[in-house]
Amino acid sequence: MSATMEAFDAVDLIRAKRDKGELTTAQIDWLIDAYTRGYVGDEQMAAMTMAIFLNGMSRNEVRALTMAMLASGERMSFTGLGKPTTDKHSSGGVGDKITLPLMPLVAVFGAAVPQLSGRGLGHTGGTLDKLESIPGWRANLSNEEMYAQLRDHGGVVCAAGSGLAPADGKLYSLRDITGTVEAIPLIASSIMSKKIAEGTSALVLDVKFGSGAFLKDIERSRELARTMVELGEDAGVATSALLTNMNVPLGFAIGNANEVRESVDVLAGGGPADVVELTVALAREMLNLAGITDVDVESALRDGRAMDKWRDVIRAQGGDPDAAMPVARDTHVVLADRDGVLVEQQALPFGIGAWRLGAGRARKQDPVQHAAGIDLHAKPGDTVRRGQPLFTLSANEPERFARALEAVDGAWRIGDVGEPVLDGGPLIAERISR
């Protein structure tokens, strides 16, 4: 389409949003379409995203933006499966490996779980990076392979195809390099355009708050949760959200291979109490939205059914559930310098520490070191003794230890017995639904 045939001028729309105006649905439709086909350039969309970051968007604008990104690509459908579909999305955190035990646990009860996941960037780990620690496992499936696996095994974790909301793929990459990742309208439309395109009939959102979350403040996280729930419900997807605490790392493992090992412990009926609590709560919520009630979720962890399902779906994607996981060549152990109680353990610095060890990537094209990461040996509230291991750093390149130690310096503290524990409160703060 030539320039003379364009319906709007990008500069006019940028000025309108810069001056706190409200864009119409027609303007937003044109903007996203024009950006997807390259008529609107990155520099113009960068200006628009910053204007949105600074001035926000109305509910109607956010809905229009979500639907425009959804319309930029294909939509999947699982209506022929003969079973309800239900999915979960997490806004990301430190040690958040919940998708791994959650997907097989929900699939045990007859639901289909189409879990389209992503890779890590910065301090938050990616589900696909974790699972690629398993020899042979592959993330990229065709739509036909994904459908067949849901039909035959009830669950799948894989990368989203390029045909789903391609406008979001372009826009996300731009946001990441322009300092606009935290804009709630952009987060909400990004997540929900992909999830609606995915074709699930029910969706549970795990929206984090606290030091290790993208949105630190619970009020901002609550606003994001409410916005996404409304978007899902408006699109005909049964949607709810749990606000969950990310002030402290989730579980004891932060990395890739070590988080897979911890997830397998949960599926075997063990694992850290906080990982089990959140896995079970999200499973109940997902099943409830899918219309599957009166089931004993915990029993599927105790009796091995969830573990059997895990092994099935890992094999279905080429992985060997019995293969040895990568182990780092070098470790560094940090010891307690006094007797007392661990009263503080901030999530964000430990996430950055694991990233500096090689567990994450600074750029999308960077590889991750699957064996790198941090294993915690105590959590806030635990009594510790002088000389006791507090956490272990693992890396294939020992020169990485110094910068990782710099990241966690001051992020943990041992106090006296009776001193208040700084953990930010309960793991699950509240449930949000329409």
Q: Give me the catalytic one of 29, 87, 168, 206.
A: 168
The answer to whether the CB of 254 falls within 8 A of the CB of 376 is yes
Residue 238 to residues 146, 169, 199, 224, 345: CA-CA distances in angstroms?
22, 25, 12, 17, 36
- For this structure, is 175 an active site residue? yes
Q: In what order do the strands lie in the sheet with 253-255?
A: 253-255, 373-376, 389-395, 330-335
Q: Are 154 and 110 in contact (CB under 8 A)?
A: yes
Please list, residue by residue across 157-173, b when 16 or more beta carbons sit within 10 angstroms of its beta carbon and e when fewer do: bbbbbeebbbbbbbbbe
Catalytic residue, chosen from 17, 63, 88, 89, is 89
Angle, helices 25-36 vs 59-70, to 10°: value is: 40
Q: Are 87 and 203 in contact (CB under 8 A)?
A: yes
**CB atoms < 10 A from the CB of 58, how many?**
11
d(CA 126, CA 156): 16
Using CA atoms, how far apart are residues 401 and 392, in angstroms rounded to an integer? 10
89 is catalytic: yes
Catalytic residue among 194, 208, 309, 361: 194
Q: Which amino acid is at 290?
A: A
Q: Where are the beta strands (DSSP E) in 97-188?
A: 113-117, 155-159
Catalytic residue among 91, 133, 190, 221: 190
190 in active site: yes
**Which of the following is catalytic: 97, 153, 175, 226?**
175
Active site residues: 89, 168, 175, 190, 194
